[in-house]
Each structure stands twice: as C-alpha cells, then as structure tokens.
Amino acid sequence: MKIKQQYKVREMAGEYVVIMQGKLGSDLTRIISLNESALYLWRAVEGKEFDVNHVADLLAEHYGIDDEVAQRDAARWIERLEECGLIE
C-alpha cells in the first residue's frame, strides 16, 4: 500500500493536518490532524510502498517498544488511514 499522492501534510496553527492538493481539495469538509507518532510514520513512508510489518519496525525502532505493541499500533494506524481514504 501507499499514501495517495494528492494528500500532503501541512502545518496549520501549530498542528499538522492532512490536506488534498488541487482543485478537488478546495472543498474541505473535514480536517485530519496528525499527532507526533502519526506524523513521524507519515513522513517515513510518504511516497513509498509499505505494509504493517514495515510500519511496526519503524515504531519499534523509533520508540523502543516491543514487537507486539508495535504490530498492534501499526495495524491501527493503517486502519485509520484506510478509513479516511488516504491510502491505495
């Protein structure tokens, strides 16, 4: 899977949010805000293919958490991206 190219992270009022660039993005009906961990993962995989194992490895390495917790958190993060339609 991969984050869709039309979605970009921007800083707005001290928060990081996902926006859709281009003509279709001008009608914003919701804003997707990223916390520190979500932003780290987004930047680490943006423009690249990834899967739950890759994301879990990133979490375990960056935050020093065990594999079970990393797998669970990675799956949740990917699930949220899917719910928001941000990945293909």
Above 90 in pLDDT, residue 19? no
Q: Domain ranges in the chain? A: 7-83
Distance CA 17, CA 67 (A): 28
pLDDT, residue 54, reads 98
Under 8 Å between Cβ of 16 and 34: yes
At 68 the three-state DSSP class reads: helix
Predicted model pTM: 0.88
pLDDT digits (tens, 9 = 90+) for 40-83: 999 999 999 999 999 999 999 999 999 999 999 999 999 999 99
What values do phi and psi take at 22, rounded to 5? 100, -175
pLDDT, residue 40, reads 98
